[in-house]
Amino acid sequence: MSSAISPLAPDHFPALPPIGGVTLRTARARYKEWDRADLTFVTLEEGTSVAGVTTQSKCPSPEVEWCRKALVLGRARALVVNAGNSNAFTGNRGREAVEAIAARVAGRLGCEPSDVFVASTGVIGVPLPVDKAEAGLDAAFTADPCGWEDAAATIMTTDTFPKAAVTSAVVDGKTVTLAGIIKGSGMIAPDMATMLGFIFTDAAATPEFLADALRDANGRSFSCITVDSDTSTSDTVLAFATGKAGNAPLEDAESDGADAFRAALADLCLQLAHLVVRDGEGATKFISIAVEGADSDSSAHRVALSIANSPLVKTAIAGEDANWGRVVMAVGKAGEPAERDKLSIRFGATQVAKNGLAVDGYDEAPVAAHLKGSEIEIGVDLGIGEGRATVWTCDLTHGYISINADYRS
C-alpha cells in the first residue's frame, strides 16, 4: 500500500449501506512486516447464492482452483481474503493452506468447507503461512464487525486508495442494493476479471442467473481494462446474493426486474473497473480508447487493447506528446483486419488523421491542451465494418518502474 494517493483517486470513499445477510470483519494475520489489517473475513447468511469469474492464467493460484470447484455448487457462507501473499505457484503447501483456512471457517460456522471462498493477493511463489492464517482467522472470528472502507483497505497491496461502489435496482417491486469492493493496481490485463473484486447484493437470485449476469457485466467492464498487459495468477471476482431484500428470486430473463438488476450489476462492475485503472501503478492519466468501424466487436476490442497496452502510446501520453503515429503503429501490429487508407484517429474532439493521412491544416495545439488534462480520449475509426469497443487504461510513468523494481522489498 503506497503512502502517496493516486492523483486520479476519487475525492472520497462512497457511502455504502449495509447489505442484509453480510457481516464484515478484519484482522491482522501479519503476512508481511506491516502495521495494518491484512485478513478480511465476511460471513454470509444461509441461502446465499454465489457466482464468479476467475483468471485465464495457466498458472492459477490454489485459491482460484478452490473457488472454481466451489462455484459449481452455487452456495456460500463465508469469504476470506488474504493480502500480502498470493500463495500462487506454491504446490501442495499452497493447496493445504487453502484447505486449512476453509476447514477452520467451516468448523466455526458449522457449514461445509466448500461453502467458504478464499482469495489471496500479493507476492507469488511464497507459501501462505498456515499458522499466521489460522491466528488471523481466530482474531477475525471475535472481532467487531467493520464497515466497507475498512474491508476495502484490508484487501489492498500496492493500491493507494480503497475502492468501492454501490448501485440499486427495483426487482419484483423491491429496491435491491448492490455494493462492491475491489483491489488492483498493477499486474492488470485481465481476460475475465481484475485482481480481487467482491460484490454483495440483498437480491434473491439463483446461482445460474447470477453467473450469467456477472459474465455479461464482466465482458463490458473488467475485461476491458489494462494497466500493464500482465494477467494475474489470482484474478477473481465473486458476486454473492443473500436474498434478504425479499424479492421473488431472479431466475431468468423473464423474471420481474431481471433487466434492471443486470443493468445495475453492469454499472457497478464498470465503476469498480475504472477505479482500478485510476489507481494504476504510477498513473497520472485515465485513458479511454474507443475503436469503431472494425470487422467485428471482438476485432475492435483486440485493436483497442493493442493501443492500450503499447508502452510507446502510454509513455507518449505520460509525456503529453501528441504522437499519433504511435496509435497507427499499435493498430497495425494488432493482427486484426485494417486498411491503412481508411484509418482515422482523433485525440479528444480533434481529428488528427483521416483516410490514412494527417488532416489538412492539422493544428496540434488543441491536442496538446487535451493531453495536459488527466482524462484522455483516443478515438480510432478503421472504416471497414460495424464493430466497436471501448477499453480503459492509464499512462506509463517512472512511478510504475519505481514500484515494481523493488516490489518484494
pLDDT tens per residue, range 252-287: 999 999 999 999 999 999 999 999 999 988 899 999
Q: Known binder of ligand: residue 409? A: yes
Q: Known binder of ligand: residue 45? A: no
Q: How many whole angstroms separate alpha carbon 371 and alpha carbon 245? A: 46
| Domain residue spans of the chain | 22-278, 286-405
Contact criterion met (CB below 8 Å) for 387 and 296 = yes
Residues of the chain above pLDDT 90, percent: 86
Q: Known binder of ligand: residue 404? A: yes
pLDDT of residue 235: 86
pLDDT beyond 80 at 233: no
pLDDT of residue 1: 47
Residue 43 is among the residues annotated as catalytic for this protein: no
In which band, very low, low, confident or very high, does the pLDDT at 388 lie, cut at 50, 70 and 90?
very high
Residues with Cβ within 8 Å of 121's Cβ and at least 6 positions away in sequence, in order, are 81, 82, 83, 84, 86, 155, 157, 183, 195, 196, 234
- For residue 62, the tally of other CB atoms under 10 A from its CB is 26
Tell me which of 167, 194, 226, 393 is the catalytic residue. Answer: 194
pLDDT beyond 80 at 298: yes
Contact criterion met (CB below 8 Å) for 98 and 130 = no
Is the domain 22-278 a CATH 3.30.1360.170 member?
Answer: no
Looking at every residue in the chain, the average pLDDT score rounds to: 94
pLDDT digits (tens, 9 = 90+) for 181-218: 999 876 555 554 447 999 999 999 999 999 999 999 99
Tell me the average pLDDT across 370-387.
98
Q: Known binder of ligand: residue 82? A: no
CATH of 286-405, one of 3.10.20.340, 1.10.1740.10, 1.25.10.10, 3.40.950.10: 3.10.20.340
pLDDT beyond 90 at 335: yes
pLDDT of residue 399: 85
pLDDT beyond 90 at 339: yes
pLDDT digits (tens, 9 = 90+) for 19-54: 999 999 999 999 998 999 999 999 999 999 999 999
Q: Known binder of ligand: residue 194? A: yes
Contact criterion met (CB below 8 Å) for 184 and 194 = yes
pLDDT of residue 186: 64
